[in-house]
């Protein structure tokens, strides 16, 4: 197996190629030696194909462009056509016909050296999205891409393949929880200026609630999302935001999901309240379809309520990122009280009562295998919900039981696996706060060794968690109640986690600053604040 492609991803990649580009190998590079150290085979320039004649009225490139799931030799290029993106049925004003467009990939921002150019069909059954698998690329290299239709040309996106060999450095931005109504996307406006290679989205890309009305920002539709049309419209509504579009156009993304891509605190085929498992599965199918249509992910289109999104990304021998799904196949959390509006907050004897699965059997086996086979210096876990444990109670213990705190046996197994790999680091979202935690062998037991540091990215815009939970959570090293994102810079010797926070979440033009910087030395899981 190729080191940069996890087993599961290899299988998916083999089946998922929407289109394959074979571009010729040309003369030796004039860019100097490839960073990979492998024989350098620069792409030969090609002439762009003619754009298909425009049949649809109006600008179809309203939702921007994106790229994602890079390997050392390929990357997924995405767009979704919509001439009327706010149409209430979520169909984007384009009806039932498939629409042919052209895509181009170039070695430069001006497209003076086009390396690949092809036609592709944006299928109505896929919400008029396209997922181009641009292949035959060089490792650790920047590329530019665009889409064309009639005389319309999309925004130009910039992307990059993953490095191979022994990279000196790799940079990630970690983002999550971007409720449209919660604030502007000033965090994304600032993110485009960061020196990172990849953006990791840990979920809550959308929220499923009615968008509301009146003053302030409101997404569409103004109803609880249940149908594929509803979810499509919600993604379109978010993706009209220019700062979100700019971030996607600037960096490749790798995304997993948390609960709100479907429904608050859904776990497996359960939600708080009285929905039947059949109803939950139906809603999952609609939500997963729209998620896939709107993400630049290297995955086959879903067919029903199952879509395996866990996958890994390897940056040469420097780092592997394991991206997890902690909702789809999860057991129902303990002591669920359906009268508490789905908070899954509290404590009960049941917490330790049974071995509840968090990842599901398939994903758990995959992760054990992937971690067991890791040959990289750092092992980064893209883990949507907090692992180290947080006791948010005041007078007595109380936990958010849809986090790993409700799944103690599964957590024990995961922590034991992390203890067996080199330099595990946990990257987390969901809590609507920035945090630094120590993942102990036994959470809350400070006498057990620290296995990994955990860095929780602050929310982009979702309302902050406003309680101070440092009192009952000794493994919590720092709590930062601010909006923003996390920048993680990895070198062979050190990992640096920088908390970037905005001044004013309501202002898209907000300034940004650094709230805290923590470093982790290779070989020592205890993070140090600098």
Per-residue binding string, Ca ion, 383-422, x by CB under 5 A, is: ----------------------------------------
Q: Which is nearer to Ca ion, 204 or 364 (CB)?
A: 204
The helix (H) or strand (E) run that includes residue 172 is strand 170-175
Per-residue binding string, Ca ion, 433-472, x by CB under 5 A, is: ----------------------------------------
Does 269 engage in binding with Ca ion (CB under 5 A)?
no
Report, in Å, the least distance between residue 502 CB and Fe ion.
17
The site partner of 417 among Fe ion, Ca ion, none (C-beta below 5 to 8 Å per kind) is none
Report, in Å, the least distance between residue 254 CB and Ca ion.
18
Q: Which is nearer to Ca ion, 230 or 259 (CB)?
A: 259
Per-residue binding string, Ca ion, 191-230, x by CB under 5 A, is: -------------x--------------------------
Q: Which is nearer to Ca ion, 134 or 225 (CB)?
A: 225
CA angle centred on 200, ends 196 and 203, rounded to 5°: 150
Report d(CA 171, CA 193) in Å as an integer. 13
CA angle centred on 225, ends 221 and 231, rounded to 5°: 80
Other beta carbons within 10 Å of 193? 8
Q: Is 192 left (phi over 0), alpha (psi -120 to 50) or beta?
A: alpha
Report d(CA 223, CA 509) in Å as an integer. 29
Q: Which is nearer to Ca ion, 204 or 438 (CB)?
A: 204
Q: Which is nearer to Fe ion, 264 or 289 (CB)?
A: 264
Sorted by sequence, the CB contacts under 8 Å of residue 501 that are 6+ apart come out as 434, 458, 480, 482, 483, 484, 512, 513, 514, 515
Report, in Å, the least distance between residue 452 CB and Ca ion.
21
Q: Give the chain's count of helices (H) and strands (E).
A: 7, 24
Part of the chain binding Ca ion (CB under 5 A), chosen from 238-246, 348-356, 361-369, 424-432 = 424-432
Q: Which residues contribute to the site for Fe ion (CB under 5 A)?
A: 177, 204, 462
Sorted by sequence, the CB contacts under 8 Å of residue 236 that are 6+ apart come out as 63, 80, 82, 85, 86, 90, 92, 220
Report, in Å, the least distance between residue 342 CB and Ca ion.
11
Does 430 engage in binding with Ca ion (CB under 5 A)?
yes
Q: Given candidates 133, 230, 243, 258, which one binds Ca ion under the rule CB under 5 A?
A: 258
- Closest C-alpha among 386, 398, 379 to residue 335: 398
Q: Which is nearer to Fe ion, 103 or 238 (CB)?
A: 238
Report d(CA 229, CA 233) in Å as an integer. 6
Part of the chain binding Ca ion (CB under 5 A), chosen from 15-23, 131-139, 257-265, 387-395 = 257-265
Peptide bond into 221 cis (omega under 30): yes
Q: Which is nearer to Fe ion, 197 or 208 (CB)?
A: 208
C-alpha 388, offset from chain centre: 21
The site partner of 462 among Ca ion, Fe ion, none (C-beta below 5 to 8 Å per kind) is Fe ion
The residue count for the chain: 530
- Return the exposure string of 106-120: e unless at least 16 CB atoms fall within 10 Å of the residue's CB, then b: bbeeebeebbbbbeb
Q: Which is nearer to Fe ion, 132 or 287 (CB)?
A: 287
- Enter the tokens of residue 325: 């799904």
Report, in Å, the least distance between residue 139 CB and Fe ion.
34
Report, in Å, the least distance between residue 183 CB and Fe ion.
13
Q: Summarize as ranges the residues that interact with Ca ion (CB under 5 A).
A: 204, 258-259, 430
């Amino acid at each position: 197996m190729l080191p940069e492609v996890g087993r599961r991803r290899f299988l998916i990649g083999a089946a998922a190629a929407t289109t394959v580009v074979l571009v010729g190998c040309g003369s030796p590079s004039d860019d100097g030696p490839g960073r990979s150290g492998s024989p350098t085979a620069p792409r030969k320039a090609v002439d762009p194909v003619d754009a298909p004649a425009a049949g649809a009225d109006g600008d179809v490139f309203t939702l921007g462009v994106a790229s994602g799931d890079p390997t050392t030799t390929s990357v997924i290029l995405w767009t979704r056509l919509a001439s009327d993106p706010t149409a209430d049925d979520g169909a984007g004003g384009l009806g039932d016909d498939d629409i042919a467009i052209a895509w181009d990939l170039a070695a430069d921002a001006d497209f003076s050296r086009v390396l690949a150019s092809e036609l592709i069909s944006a299928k109505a059954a896929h919400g008029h999205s396209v997922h181009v698998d641009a292949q035959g690329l060089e490792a650790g290299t920047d590329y530019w891409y665009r889409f064309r239709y009639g005389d319309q040309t999309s925004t130009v996106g910039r992307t990059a393949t993953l490095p191979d060999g022994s990279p000196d450095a790799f940079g990630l931005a970690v983002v999550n929880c971007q409720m449209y109504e919660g604030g502007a996307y000033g965090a994304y406006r600032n993110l485009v200026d960061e020196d990172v290679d990849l953006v990791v989205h840990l979920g809550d890309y959308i929220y499923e609630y009615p968008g509301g009305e009146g003053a302030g920002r409101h997404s569409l539709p103004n109803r609880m999302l249940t149908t594929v049309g509803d979810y499509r419209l919600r993604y379109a509504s978010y993706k009209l935001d220019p700062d979100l579009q700019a971030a996607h156009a600037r960096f490749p993304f790798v995304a997993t999901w948390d609960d709100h891509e479907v429904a608050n605190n859904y776990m497996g085929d359960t939600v708080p309240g009285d929905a039947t498992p059949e109803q939950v599965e139906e809603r999952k199918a609609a939500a997963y379809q729209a998620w896939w249509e709107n993400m630049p992910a290297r995955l086959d289109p879903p067919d029903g309520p199952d879509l395996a999104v866990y996958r890994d990304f390897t940056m040469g021998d420097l780092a592997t990122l394991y991206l997890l799904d902690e909702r789809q196949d999860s057991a129902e959390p303990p002591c669920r009280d359906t009268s508490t509006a789905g908070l899954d907050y509290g404590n009960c004897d049941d917490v330790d009562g049974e071995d509840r699965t968090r990842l599901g059997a398939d994903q758990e086996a995959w992760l054990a295998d992937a971690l067991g086979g890791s040959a990289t210096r750092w092992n980064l876990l893209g883990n949507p919900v907090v692992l180290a444990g947080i006791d948010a109670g005041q007078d007595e213990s109380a936990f958010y039981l849809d986090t790993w705190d409700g799944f103690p046996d599964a957590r024990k197994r995961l922590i034991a696996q992390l203890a067996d790999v080199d330099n595990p680091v946990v990257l987390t979202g969901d809590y609507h706060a920035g945090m630094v935690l120590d993942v102990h062998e036994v959470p809350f037991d400070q006498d057990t060794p620290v296995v990994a540091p955990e860095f929780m990215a602050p929310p982009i815009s979702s309302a902050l968690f406003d309680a101070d939970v440092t009192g009952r959570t000794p493994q919590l090293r720092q709590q930062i109640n601010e909006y923003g994102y996390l920048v993680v810079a990895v070198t062979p010797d050190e990992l640096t986690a920088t908390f970037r926070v905005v001044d004013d979440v309501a202002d898209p033009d907000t300034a940004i600053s650094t709230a805290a910087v923590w470093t982790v030395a290779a070989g020592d899981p205890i993070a140090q604040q600098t």
